[in-house]
Structures are given as structure tokens and as C-alpha cells.
Structure 1
Amino acid sequence: MAHGILQPRDHENLELEDVGELYFKELWARSFFEHVELVDYHYNLSYRFSMHDLIHDLVQSLAEGEFSIVNSSTKNISENVRHLPILELGQNGSTMLRKLNKVRTVTARGLPSSIGTLKHLRYLDLAGNDEIKKLPNTICKLQSLQSLGLLGCENLENLPRDTSNLTCLRLLFLTTKQTSFSENGVGCLKSLRFLCIWNCGNLTSLPSDMSYLAALRTLVIYKCKRLELVNGNYQVIALRLQKLVIDGVPKMLALPEWLQGAAETLQDCYIIHCDNLEALPGWLTNFRSLRKLVLDSCRKLLYLPEEVHPLELTIENCPKLERRC
């Protein structure tokens, strides 16, 4: 998707992410990838590759000059480069970046303010950078950016103040120290299709502006021990959500009311390690598209709604519920 090679016209009814998954499965079936493993076999959300094999494939498949690894000793970068892993930037790093007009993907350990000059950048991955505390606000000039990876950035204090300018952003993987989201932040990202809020231990609430939910297909909330999903004046709006994962949210006492907006679209729902959840709401019987419901390690869960339509139901480590069922 980041490279603009997907052909949505061949699959007019599918989102770009769904088309990309079809491409991936086809390549996998042809043994194009030798080392693939699920990030988590429970969720089946995305795939992780051996970095060595991924770089090897890129080097072999991309035209000469389109792939370049940058370190502190790098003095020149081809202006034709499209894929740019940045290991370390030297003194002239910012100057070199300003000359690059064709870069589509960047993986990096840190970012200079000149990142905003990469106008065509579509994929930016900063995952695992526990030294990053702030992102340059110039990142918000990347109006072609479609995927932003901040997973494992445990010391990231907050997102830039103009995050709402990332109008094309479709995938966001986020770890942050902040307790709440700013008014001009995630809640304004109306193009989001995939949102993963991962190990945000200080976060107490989701954005009050629910506009970002309208286009979401997948929402993952993992290990947010202070997050309260029910509190707040969240409105019930029409959603297109297809997959929901809530794992490690002990303060969730009930499913949030705004989830009712996905009654026509939600297909897969995973509720895991929600220690204080006692019952599922009766309105869950209205979810006619729901095909898979996983309830795992919800030890206080006692009730399921009556007359839930036939689906694939998994109950594990829910002792009170297991006795009743």
C-alpha cells in the first residue's frame, strides 16, 4: 500500500488493506516469504517478518538505487531511493533528507525535524524506540503518510500538536505515556482503518471526539490498565468496525455503549484479561454479523445475553461463566 502498487480496481468492494492481505496470502502460498509468524496467534491481525529476510527480498526485487541503508558514515544517498532504513543520522543527515523526493518508506531509531520534507512518504515505522520522548511537529506535514508505527515507544510523552493534519493516515500503532488525547489528535483522524493502542499504562480515556471511529475496521486495545472505556459522553454513531480486541483492560466493567454503532458490521470480538467485567450487554443480540466471540481470562464474567445468534464461541479461564454454561 505504501508503494502504490495495489490495484483496488480489481477488487472494487474491498478496502486497500483487504486487497493487500489478498496479495500477501498469494505470495505466502507461493513461498515468497520463508519466515513468517503471527504477532499473536489469538488475534491473527498482522504478520512479522525476519528483518534480514525482508531486507534481502527488497534488495533483490527493487531496482538499483531504490533501497539505501543510512548510518552515521553515510555521505550520499541516491535521489531515486524509495525505501530508507535509518540506523543513525550523521551531521549531514538532515541536509541529505531534504534532497529526497521519492522516498515512500522509512524505518528509523530517531527523527530529525527535516522528516517533514519527505512529501511522498507513506510508511513510517519507529517501533521499539524507547528513547523517543517527542516527535517533531514537522511529521504532521507528511500529508501522504498512510501508516505510522509507534509500537513500543514507551517514553513517548504525547503526539504532535497538529496530528489532525495527517489526513491520509489509515494505520496507527501507538504506545505513549500520555493520560489522555488532545483535542487535535487521534480523534480527528477520520481516515483511520486500523488503530492499535498498545501498552499505554497511563491512558485513562479514549478521545472524546468519536469521528475517528466512523471509518475504523479494526480496533485493538492492549494492556491499558487505567483505561475506562465506559466513562465519558460518547455518542452512538454508525460504525463500520469489523474486528475488536480488548485485552488487559481491568477497569472495563461493561462494553462501551458506542459499540452499538457496529451492530451491522462487527464480525470478530475478543475480550481477554478484563478482570472486572461481569456481564455482556443484552444489546449484543442485535449483532447479526458477529461470527466469532472469544472470552478469555474474564474471571468475574457471569452472564451472556440470551438468544445470541449462532456463532463461534470460545470461553477459556472464565470459571463463573464456564460453570453456568
Structure 2
Amino acid sequence: MKSIGNPSSGARKSHGVLLELSIGGCEELMELPCQILDSWAPTIEYLELIELRSLKNLPVLIDCLAKSSSHLKVLTILGVPKLMAASVGGIESWDLSSLKILSIDVSVEWSREASVGIAETVDGMLQRCCNSLHDLLFAGMENWEWFPQSIQYLTILQFLRLKNIGAEELPQWLGNLSSLRELYLKSCNKLKRLPFVDAFKHLTKLKHLEIIDCPELHIDSDWCSHHPQLEIKVDGQPVSTFLQARD
């Protein structure tokens, strides 16, 4: 499928209420008419766009939705290109104040030339849901060391999942996420260090740290002993097994 037709005038005039919209696996779909979101944006709570690798107008769609809907609670954008600066100019008018769950992947068609625009777009989105978001999945690029700085302002974030991050160490300010309960790190091939022991001392609610396929990450027994309340798993095994195998 390469296109989706505009809704008919009758559909636009109907009194139907759309709460969830999920489009996935349509790899030849090039354009999703903004009129579709215009019609139902005021009521949409759940939007999922997955594996739409030919889609060209993602920034326009997000701009359309975020300006019209204050009810959006779940937004998933995975495997979709064009998350670029085309929408940055309109970010200030976006209303994401009800967003609770955000999953976003910046790897599709990433380039150094587009990286500044992508960073501004992601940070702008996070700033507009800083008082509502409690679950974030962010998938980056291995050869891009950038880390979204706006994560540190997500005051009620409980679940943070980071995938394919290109940084060698996590920022110390992660220790300021006092509501954080679970932290997942996956396929971060360059990651070598966790934040300092003292940086995590305020994370009293953090109960679970799971690390999957991060071959360069070093965790020592001293770091673990300072967080006895924390369940740490490395590639599915308790961290004690990981440390014994390494020794």
C-alpha cells in the first residue's frame, strides 16, 4: 500500500470518536493525509506508527496532531524516517501535556546533516511532556554520541529504556530522576560506564536495572554493593553471575 485516501466529507462530518490509531508494516506507504488526523485529532489518545520506512510527511503529521489534540497519552514512532527539523518551527505550539508513554526511534535515515534537526525535535517533544511522561523508550544511533538532555527534566519518569545509544557513559544527571523505577539498556555497544555511585543515591525508587547486549559496559562489585536494593541483570542473568564469569 502506497497511499491512504483522504476521508470523505461524510466521514469528516460524522460524530464518530477515534481513540486509537495504529498503522504498521506498510513499508511502501509514502504519505498519510493530514486530513485523517485533522478529523479525529481532538479525541485520539493512542497513536502508533511502526515500520513505515517510505513515509515522507512525518513532521507534518506530528505537527498536525500535537496542535489539535490535548488528549494524546501514548505516542509510538518506530521505523519511520524524516524525524527532522521540518517540524521544529512548530514545536512551541505543540500540546503534549497529557502524554504518558513515548517510544521514539531516530535511526531511520539518520545522517550527520540531519542530526541537529533530529536532536532539536526530540528535545522539543520531551520538553512539552516533562510533567506528564512516565515511560520513555529512546532508540539512538551507535555512531551518534548525542544523548537527549531534556530527559533530565522528566520529573515523574518511572521507566526509561535506552537502545543503541552511542555515548560511552551515561550522564550523571540521571541521578536526578527521583521517580525512576526501572532502567533498561540495550545494544549500547559503546557504553563503558554507569554514572558514579553517588549519582544514583537519590534514586530510592529504582528497583530494576537490566542490561542487554552492552559488551563494553563495566560494572564492578563496589558499584553493586552501594545499591543493595537494586536488582541488576546482565543479558538475563543476575549481576553476580556476570561478575563471576568476568573474574
Q: Deviations over 1:159-185 (max 9, x none)?
A: 843286211111111112354521423
Give the direction of change, closer, same or farther, for the CA distance of 1:280–1:239 in structure 2 (3 Å limit).
Answer: farther
TM (norm. structure 1) is 0.56
> What is aligned with 2:49?
126
> What is aligned with 1:278?
218
Verify the 8 A CA contact 1:264 1:287 in the aligned structure 2. no
Q: Distance in 1 between matches of 2:84 and 2:202?
A: 29
1:198 aligns with 2:139: yes
Helix, strand or coil: the match of 1:140? helix
Helix, strand or coil: the match of 1:185? helix
After the TM superposition, which residues 33-182 of structure 1 pair with which residues of structure 2 at under 5 Å, given as runs?
89-92=4-7, 96-97=11-12, 99=14, 102-108=17-23, 111-114=32-35, 115-117=37-39, 118-133=41-56, 134-136=58-60, 137-141=63-67, 142-153=69-80, 155-158=81-84, 160-161=87-88, 162=91, 165-177=95-107, 179=115, 181-182=119-120
TM (norm. structure 2) is 0.71
Q: Distance in 2 between matches of 1:113 and 1:323?
A: 53
Give the residue type in structure 2 aligned to 1:139.
L
Give the residue type in structure 1 aligned to 2:180.
L
Verify the 8 A CA contact 1:107 1:125 in the aligned structure 2. yes
Give the direction of change, closer, same or farther, for the CA distance of 1:151–1:176 in structure 2 (3 Å limit).
Answer: same
- CA positional deviation for 1:221: 1.3
Give the direction of change, closer, same or farther, for the CA distance of 1:295–1:235 in structure 2 (3 Å limit).
Answer: closer
Give the residue type in structure 2 aligned to 1:89.
I
Q: Which moved more, 1:199-208 or 1:104-113?
A: 199-208
Verify the 8 A CA contact 2:96 2:128 in the aligned structure 1. no
Q: Distance in 2 between matches of 1:95 and 1:227?
A: 51
> What is aligned with 1:40?
none
- CA positional deviation for 1:278: 2.4
Q: Distance in 1 between matches of 2:45 and 2:138?
A: 20
Q: Distance in 1 between matches of 2:233 and 2:211?
A: 6
Aligned-pair identity in percent equals 18
Q: CA RMSD in A?
A: 3.5
1:209 aligns with 2:150: yes
Q: Distance in 2 between matches of 1:98 and 1:176?
A: 36
Give the direction of change, closer, same or farther, for the CA distance of 1:323–1:286 in structure 2 (3 Å limit).
Answer: closer
Verify the 8 A CA contact 1:205 1:229 in the aligned structure 2. no
Higher helix share: 2
**Aligned length, in residue pairs:** 219
Give the direction of change, closer, same or farther, for the CA distance of 1:97–1:235 in structure 2 (3 Å limit).
Answer: same
Helix, strand or coil: the match of 2:119? coil
1:242 aligns with 2:181: yes
Verify the 8 A CA contact 1:222 1:246 in the aligned structure 2. yes
Unaligned runs of 5+ in 2: none
Q: Deviations over 1:205-243 (max 9, x none)?
A: 22223444321111111233x244436x84742421111
The structure with more radius of gyration: 1
1:252 aligns with 2:191: yes
Give the residue type in structure 1 aligned to 2:22.
T
- CA positional deviation for 1:135: 2.8
Verify the 8 A CA contact 2:175 2:203 in the aligned structure 1. no
Q: Distance in 1 between matches of 2:70 and 2:245?
A: 50
> What is aligned with 2:233?
294
Q: Deviations over 1:36-57 (max 9, x none)?
A: xxxxxxxxxxxxxxxxxxxxxx
Give the residue type in structure 1 aligned to 2:4.
L
Q: Deviations over 1:289-322 (max 9, x none)?
A: 42x211239xxxxxxxxxxxxxx92566x5x751
Verify the 8 A CA contact 1:204 1:227 in the aligned structure 2. yes
Give the residue type in structure 1 aligned to 2:238.
L
- CA positional deviation for 1:125: 0.9
Q: Deviations over 1:229-272 (max 9, x none)?
A: 436x8474242111111011122121135961653111111112
